[in-house]
Amino acid sequence: MRLFVITVFACLLVACAETPSNSSWQEIGYKQGAKGLQMQTTSDLQQRFDREMVQEEEYAEYVVGFEQGKKKFCNPVQAYEYGTWGNRYKGQCSGLPDEARIAEQMKLGYERYIFSDSEGRYP
């Protein structure tokens, strides 16, 4: 009986995780944008969440969240730090006014990351 209850509970958790509600589409977009990932298409999201269709309103919420997250990622002040974590600029901030500055700062941070990583390997 205990195993049955645990199994049912686990199935419910998995079902919830794979079917985002309208309120979480914005959160999904935000998280992806804040990580510097590329915006996904409706087809990408349908595949990811094993759905036949992503509604227009759901995708609109995703885009709003993604743009908010992108603003967080595309912060010139934090770009250097992102680079020191091993992130490279891949056009994530394309079209933004500070794109050149962000790309340069991230490049400098990435070079620091590479240099710091190699310091311990050579005598």
Q: Is the pTM of this model over 0.85?
A: no
Residues 32 and 59 in one domain: yes
Provide the pLDDT for residue 15.
47
96: left (phi over 0), alpha (psi -120 to 50) or beta: beta
In a domain, 2, yes or no: no
Structural domain for 92, as ranges: 76-123
Residues 47 and 81 in one domain: no
101: tokens are 């500055």
Number of separate domains in the chain: 2
Q: What CA–CA distance (Å, rounded) separates 45 from 23?
A: 15
Residues 102 and 59 in one domain: no
The 10 Å Cβ neighbour count of residue 1 is: 5
Residues 80 and 68 in one domain: no
pLDDT digits (tens, 9 = 90+) for 31-90: 999 999 999 999 999 998 888 888 999 999 999 999 999 999 999 989 999 999 999 999
CB 67 within 8 A of CB 32: no
